[in-house]
Amino acid sequence: MSRIGKLPIEIPEKIEVKIDSDKITVKGLKGELSQDIHPSIKVEKKDNVIMVSVASPCKDSNALWGLYRNLIFNMVKGMSHGFEKKLEINGVGYRVALEKDKLILNVGYSHPVEFVLPKEVEAKVEKNTVVLSSFDKQLVGQVAANIRKIRKPEPYKGKGIKYDDEVIRRKAGKAAKGGEK
């Protein structure tokens, strides 16, 4: 029995949920998201509550139960509140600028790197911090990971692009060899 899967999902006002046999669609002020539903998972809407359950109990369907409950919960939460990821750019001469739907990153390469943002993701640049926001949690996480991949933080000086809450394990540099005479 899934502890997460059995929790109900409350639907806030101004959010419309439509459930078909194999698909759920959530519409809100920010946009629209849809998710295919596995055949062994059953999703029901009663009043302003969504309940997720297992259609045919087996090991695989029990594993998917909590997953689909969280996917649907994130869709509903994204339509009402939205999601945010923060990235920090650390390093001497490293900087970022925002031009319409492009991030221009100067992160130690011979040329600036241009990263085109999807239309669903908004970005704000404040000094050395990039704040990505959207109603789709999966998309925000993937875009943040793709930006971080441009210049991962290195363990010696900590230069690179890292998540705001990420802790970089620092290494000591080369130790001077003791002089044996």
pLDDT digits (tens, 9 = 90+) for 14-70: 999 999 988 999 999 888 999 999 999 999 999 899 999 998 888 888 889 999 999
Residue 1: the pLDDT is: 63
**Residues in a beta bridge with 86:** 131
Mean pLDDT of 69-78: 95
The reported pTM is 0.87
Q: How confident is the model at residue 95 (pLDDT cuts 50, 70, 90)?
A: very high
Residue 123, pLDDT > 70, answer yes
Residue 59: the pLDDT is: 80
Lowest mean per-residue pLDDT among 52-61, 73-82, 121-130: 52-61
Domain range summary for the chain, segments of one domain joined by +: 9-80, 83-163
Strands 41-46 and 49-54: antiparallel
Superfamily classification of domain 83-163: Ribosomal protein L6 (3.90.930.12)
pLDDT digits (tens, 9 = 90+) for 127-150: 999 999 999 999 999 999 999 999
Helical pair 59-80 and 137-150, crossing angle rounded to 10 deg: 90
DSSP 152: P
Superfamily classification of domain 9-80: Ribosomal protein L6 (3.90.930.12)
Mean pLDDT of 101-106: 95
Strands 129-134 and 16-19: unpaired
Same fold, 9-80 and 83-163: yes
Taking phi over 0 as left and psi of -120 to 50 as alpha, with beta for the rest, 151 belongs to beta
